[in-house]
A and B are shown apart, each in its own frame.
Chain A
Amino acid sequence: MSPNPQPPAVEVSGLVKRYGSKTAVDGLDLVQERGTVLALLGPNGAGKTSTVEICEGFRRFDAGSVRVLGMKPGATELRPRIGVMPQGGGGYPGVRAAEMLNLVATCAANPLDPAWLLEVLGLEGVLRTPYKRLSGGQQQRLSLACALIGRPELVFLDEPTAGMDPQARRLVWELISALRGDGVTVLLTTHLMDEAEALADHVVIMDRGRVVASGSPVELTSHGSDDQQLRFRARGGLDTSLLSAALPEGLRVREASRGTYLVEGHIDPQVVSTVTSWCAQQGVLAEELQVAKRSLEDVFLELTGRELRS
């Protein structure tokens, strides 16, 4: 333990943000340690962007406290130390891609080489193209370049891969991994489960302005012993009471839909064997038998509901 520990990268407690009568962020607590990647995950309107923009110093808030690298958001000494990729990018409509990145690079003491970064991001073919004529994905990549050019300690990426094709998305994932490897702290928002699962050390699931779950992707998907399931298909309407009796305490059996059976609980090789023996006794073949961990998507849908939000 260091006697004088550095403050966390981001420290939010009891944050409240209202727009008129609507509460966008409702008592949010969040701590991000330095050098980690944190993903704020949530459906549209969960309050992700409001939270990030408050940390960036773009929005005032109504209650709570926010510290970024130990300082007040938006503080003059703080701004050179953070990199920001706002949702939907940002550039003068007529500015050329290279010109925009050079302008942002001028604002930094030790910038990365703009020409190199543009090439890494696959923008070398549009250096002289005006911003408004870039595709959505190109604008996003330029915006990411602007966030990284100043070699910041902490970057905020608001939906960094929105509007990108799969190749560009993969590249951004590699970039974020490289940032993390070099000790840069990354706070990103996304509503893509695989993105959060692949990149984040810590996932915070938000809904209606509150944190509904948080932890590493592994913790979230294997929380407790009830998170696994064994699924198989067989003839519909089998009597499962004998199987229930044969299985250890705590496992539940049900016919989820006609012909699809689920065994939920702690699944071990013995359980699989019991299930297949029972099928043999019933004279049925267990088809499509699989043991699955819950995905982050299952956790997410469980916590935030399956119905479509308007």
Chain B
Amino acid sequence: MNFAPGTFTPAPGRGKLGRMLLVHARTEAALTLRNGEQILLTLIIPLALLIALALMSVIPMPEPRVGSATARIFALAIISSAFTGQAIALGFDRRYGVLKRLAATSLPRWLLVVGRVSGALAVVVVQLLVLGVTAALLGWTFPLAGLGWLVLVTILGTLSFGALGVLLGGSLKAEIVLALANILWFVLLMVGGVALSVPVGFVHLLPSAALAEAMESAIVHGSAPGIGPVLVLLVWGLAAGTLATRTTKLT
């Protein structure tokens, strides 16, 4: 093959930040939404559980039953994608060398993190829309006064669980991440204060219980979340984020 002289003449330069962020976040979100296992984890299972919790009275739940179920499933959806999904994706992305690949471009380091977080938030928005519409069909009425709180709790929950996901997915082998992230998801769902309100004191110190409680305040009562759950989420998120900056490896 012949290349015209000047084809590769250097013309370096960094792309536009806004466009880099948009394309990076869009790629991350598209990869999640195209992945069958991720869809099962982030949408199908939460959807099935929402319907089961709302319609079957096997699990005791405070009234209004559909509202309480929706709050818990919103919390579960955030945990599914920000924590479990993010950890697994990061574990395999490292295995396939994508972090090194992107770190070698002119993407600033902060944009690599913000792009990933924005991608995860976009997925969470899709999840909450699908779950919210389903809940409405099941008879849930959303107190509009809670909309601002819902947005805040969603962002805080995504960031905290995202940091935990990066902590888990950023240093261990991909297969170990896969196993641990799924086991922890199940444990948090069953005894971490998500599906059931557990009356044991320390459970309230778990980020899962805190997120479910904060979500319940916002979307069942339309009120501000208590200071306790917010603090719990903040502390877990900051601790995980700080630790993750030291333990996360490119490959």
Q: Is B9 in the interface zone, CB < 8 Å from A?
A: yes
Contacts of A150 in B (CB 8 A): 12-13, 105-106
Contacts of A258 in B (CB 8 A): none
Q: Is B202 in the interface zone, CB < 8 Å from A?
A: no
Q: Is A93 in the interface zone, CB < 8 Å from B?
A: yes
Stretch at the interface among B23-31, B40-48, B62-70, B156-164: B23-31
Contact B93 A146 (CB under 8 A): no
A91 to B95, CA, bound (A): 10
Known contacts A56-B104, A182-B6, A184-B8, A109 near B97 by CB under 8 Å? no
Contacts of B14 in A (CB 8 A): 79-80, 107-109
Contact B108 A102 (CB under 8 A): no
Known contacts A107-B20, A109-B13, A148 near B8 by CB under 8 Å? yes
Known contacts A79-B105, A93-B96, A107-B106, A58 near B8 by CB under 8 Å? no
Interface size on A, residues (CB 8 A): 50
Known contacts A99-B27, A146-B101, A108 near B15 by CB under 8 Å? yes
Contacts of B3 in A (CB 8 A): 174-175, 178, 181
Contacts of A303 in B (CB 8 A): none
Question: Chain B: interface residue count, which band?
Answer: 35 or more
Stretch at the interface among A36-44, A81-89, A247-255: A81-89
Write the nearest CB–CB distance from A171 to chain B, whole angstroms. 6
Contacts of B27 in A (CB 8 A): 92, 95, 99, 103
Contacts of B151 in A (CB 8 A): none
Contacts of A79 in B (CB 8 A): 14, 104-106
Q: Is B152 in the interface zone, CB < 8 Å from A?
A: no
Q: Is B1 in the interface zone, CB < 8 Å from A?
A: yes
Known contacts A150-B106, A171-B1, A182-B5, A81 near B12 by CB under 8 Å? yes
- Between A and B, how many residue pairs show CB distances below 8 Å? 131
Q: Is A202 in the interface zone, CB < 8 Å from B?
A: no
A152 to B13, CA, bound (A): 8
Write the nearest CB–CB distance from B41 to chain A, whole angstroms. 15
Write the nearest CB–CB distance from A166 to chain B, whole angstroms. 15
Write the nearest CB–CB distance from A18 to chain B, whole angstroms. 18
Q: Is A183 in the interface zone, CB < 8 Å from B?
A: yes
Known contacts A90-B97, A175-B3, A182-B5, A106 near B10 by CB under 8 Å? no
Give me the interface of B with A, judged by CB distance under 8 Å: 1, 3, 5-15, 19-20, 23-24, 27, 30-31, 34-35, 92-93, 95-108, 250
24 contacts between A and B (CB under 8 A): A56-B104, A76-B108, A79-B14, A80-B14, A86-B101, A91-B96, A91-B101, A92-B27, A92-B98, A93-B95, A103-B27, A104-B102, A105-B15, A106-B19, A106-B23, A108-B12, A109-B14, A132-B96, A146-B105, A150-B106, A151-B10, A152-B10, A174-B3, A182-B10
Extra contacts besides A112-B8, A150-B106, A182-B8 (14): CB < 8 Å: A80-B12, A86-B104, A90-B98, A90-B100, A92-B93, A95-B98, A99-B27, A103-B23, A106-B24, A108-B12, A109-B12, A120-B1, A146-B105, A150-B13
Give me the 5 closest cross-chain CB pairs, A-B, nearest first.
A109-B13, A90-B101, A90-B97, A84-B104, A80-B106
